[in-house]
Structure 1
Amino acid sequence: MNEHENADGVRPGVPGPGDDAFTRAYEIRRPAPHDAPAVYEVVSACDTAVLGHPDMTPDDVADVLADPALDLERDAWLVLRREDGGPAGWAYALRQGEDVVEIEVCSREEEVRAWLWDTVLDRARRVTAEIAVYRQDETKRAEAAARGFTPATSFHRLRADHAEVEPGSLPGVTVHPAAGSEERMRAAHRVHQEGFAEHFGFVPKDYARWKADFEASSTHDWSQLLLAEVDGVPAAMLLGSDMFAADENCGYVRILSVLPEFRGRGLGRLLLKRAFAADARRGRAGTYLHVDAGNTTPALDLYLSVGMRPVLAIDVWRRAL
């Protein structure tokens, strides 16, 4: 990221705010946590235009604005219409590790999107920029391609619908709730870090950062952290959350990780069934998760085999700047 912008986040020479007509039509400023309703208005309008319904809740948007990794004073922008003060667009550039920056550009107005694209890409220069695009979003796909982005991988959102779920068991395997035990929490952290080391976009985190990042989310719930041990040795973990509870009454598997040396023994299937059964007991209609189609493990086959079905595809586009 670079420093070539003024205190308002506007870069000299960038089309948009430097243009009198644009300046008269729009105000550009940094968003703050109290702007969550305005940002949600923009995001829900963009989602509805593509999917027919919002894909984020107001709480989800508030979590983004509260993310400790996102510096709102440097790396986020909110565009307001001067005519009525209503929100017209929003964008951010969020560093993920040393050399990848996740960006978002959201507006229903073409000239606003154009300025936001230029701004976030300039902010993310000298690294690899990536943006998630719904498969159905032809406009954003075209805009990403026109700016030199190409598809890097795809994530599928899968759903399992619940009636009654048998949690199941495996010989020699015990599954523990990890919350409340520092030892098991740290073991779950290690399993996640080692099990995901080769996954697309994975950013390693120490234990303190790992905990803090999860706890920054309003839908996080440590009681949904499970640790599976094989003959007493930590081997797999699953972390669920309430991300889809408010809008769809569904659970969400945020992470499922199995150490390489324990794969192929049914641990992933066992933890999924435990999560499904727990969601069914909570009265959830189903459980969601996301899986990388290019995963180094045959995860998609596993999820399909336990009755999950694809409901949405999200492509990740990348460009080296």
Structure 2
Amino acid sequence: MTSDEKWDTPTLGSILTTKGGSSTPVNESIAKYTKYFDNDGNSLKKEESAEICSRYYELVTDFYEYGWGQSFHFAPMRKGDGLASAQLHHHYLIALKLKLEKGMKVLDVGCGVGGPLRNIAAFSGAHVTGLNISKYQIERARHLTQKAEMNDLCTFVEGDFNNMPFPDNSFDAIYSIEAICHSRDRVKTFTEIKRVLKPGGLFLSQDWIVTDHYSPDDSSHKQIIAGILEGDALTRLDTASHVESCLIKSGLHPLEVADYRSKSQLQWSHPLQAESGKFRASKLGRLCTHGLLYVMEKIRLAPKGSVDVHNMLCKGADNLVKSNQIDIFSPLFVTVARK
């Protein structure tokens, strides 16, 4: 299976429904989400990061699939690469770096709807368990995995990565792709990962960070990062050195620490830009989506609040692109560590 294959890819019509089996209308859900942030996009309640994250993915998962596919992450891109092929190459690289083999037990921390997980399991033959705090994403991952006929290699568990429902020394290897940036306490998260990882096992994390070019004293920098926080359900962004120090404090031993944005021939934000050739990323594409959602809301084919969700995602995307233009942020910070 590859990221290019489409399993029940959502259409605009299918995404405009209540998420996660909740009875909460979309407009109420978006209001509850945005209350966690102030007018500048700064998180007000860092202690509630798990609820912030769960509320966010209840709202946006199907929008992500509609515009992004089933792998919700960035990847180093070569010239001529599409996003899906770049992601697939990245999944293979993760499997190789973790030295995955048939019969190994692997954990995906923050698995989304399971796109990377299915690719890694199919490539390596390892059994991969996906852990996710979002009930809706777990349900979606199970559905897509059944459609792909991969239930023999893929399992999904709803749970918090700071309190995992697994015994000590459960997994031969663990990875996480753009998920631990949601943690309010990286040392606690890494310590829990170490607990469930077998001695000698490898852990790979791809994380979101602010680069050395970011200045907390620069108001324009702070405004861009605040837009990323609100648009992507984050309570904070840390530096590369802070992430590495948290790994060490947890007792894990870093083997590789690298920012993979330097390994990309194209800018990492390329999939979000009109230059990518994707109509949905263009100004006209966004305008069409916005207009369609607005009309559907007015005639009650879409629930009230759908336009607000789209606006929130566009805000996050715009600030990601801005952060790349001045090189203050990276979504491609990779660490490999051993227990």
The TM-score with structure 2 as length reference comes to: 0.29
Radius of gyration: which is bigger? 1
Pick the structure with more helix per residue: 2
Pick the structure with more strand per residue: 1
The TM-score with structure 1 as length reference comes to: 0.30
